[in-house]
Amino acid sequence: MKILHRVLAGLAPALALTIACKAGAMDMAVPGISVRMPIKSLQEVRFNTTARQQFDFSCGSAALATLLSHHYNYPISERAIFENMYRDGDQTIIRKQGFSLLDMQRFLARRGFKADGFEQPLEKLLDAGLPAIVLVSENGYNHFVVVKGMADGRILLGDPSRGTRSVSLSDFKQLWHNKLLFVIHDYKGLANFNSPSDWRAAPMARLAEGISRSGLESVTLFKHGAGEF
């Protein structure tokens, strides 16, 4: 066993590179022993508990799928939410601007969830143990993300375009312009907030670095109109 331990330890650097590059499984040749190890890429890990947006203007439906599926034990796909909100909403506006918080509120109400937007300090989420959907903005482009947790001056985000990641509190506050927290309240049960498994999936990165600079296909522009939050 000591020999096997030393062999596996020597393979650790190669394993680390493989995990970062490709998902699947690895067959390891050790004299007299066959070892098969399942491997997940970093990209897959980031989207374990964050729904990936499927369309340019669907970060709102993906954020809502993340909130319901991974924080309120209500499994539902991004596509199911998208189709429902698109069918019942103003399709012309949605194609141009994406979904609004009002679209999300109406969708939730039809399923028995009471949700509203509140102008409150971010720290209130930690006090209440509640996740929230928030709108972040950079260079004029807005994007919905889920605040999944807070700890040690870091904010854990479920980003529909980049997956689960963490940013510093100071960086986040610079890009969170409207100071609005969209939360489900009066819920009969405990919301999942600050989950250790979510934190394990979060790379250390600045929010500004999380938005791809190679193109804007995954970033949606939202405009708040009259009557919206």
pLDDT at position 30 is: 54
pLDDT at position 186 is: 86
Report the percent of the chain where pLDDT is more than 90.
Answer: 59
Residue that is written with structure tokens 């990209």 in the block: 43
The CATH number of the structural domain formed by 44-210 is 3.90.70.10
Give the residue-averaged pLDDT of 14-24.
36
pLDDT at position 58 is: 92
What's the pTM?
0.72
Say which residue, 65 or 27, is predicted with more confidence: 65
Residues of the chain with CATH 3.90.70.10: 44-210
- Model confidence at 32: pLDDT above 70: no
pLDDT at position 212 is: 47
- Model confidence at 27: pLDDT above 90: no
pLDDT at position 82 is: 97
Give the residue-averaged pLDDT of 40-54.
84
For residue range 49-101, what is the model confidence (pLDDT) as tens digits? 999 999 888 999 999 999 999 999 999 999 999 999 999 999 999 998 899 99
User: Any idea which of 6-10, 139-143, 151-155 has the lowest mean pLDDT?
Assistant: 6-10
| Closest alpha carbon to 68 in 83, 58, 81, 56 | 81
DSSP type of residue 100: -
| Closest alpha carbon to 78 in 94, 62, 89, 67 | 62
Residue 144 CA: distances (Å) to CA of 136, 151, 157, 158, 182: 6, 21, 10, 9, 10
Residue 211 CA: distances (Å) to CA of 136, 138, 160, 206, 219: 11, 9, 11, 9, 8
| Closest alpha carbon to 40 in 71, 19, 55 | 19
For residue range 175-209, what is the model confidence (pLDDT) as tens digits? 999 999 999 998 878 899 999 999 998 856 444 44
Residue positions annotated with a catalytic role = 59
Residue that is written with structure tokens 């109400």 in the block: 109
Q: Average pLDDT over the chain, rounded to whole? A: 79
For residue range 91-146, what is the model confidence (pLDDT) as tens digits? 999 998 899 999 999 999 999 999 999 999 999 999 999 999 999 997 677 899 99
pLDDT at position 141 is: 78
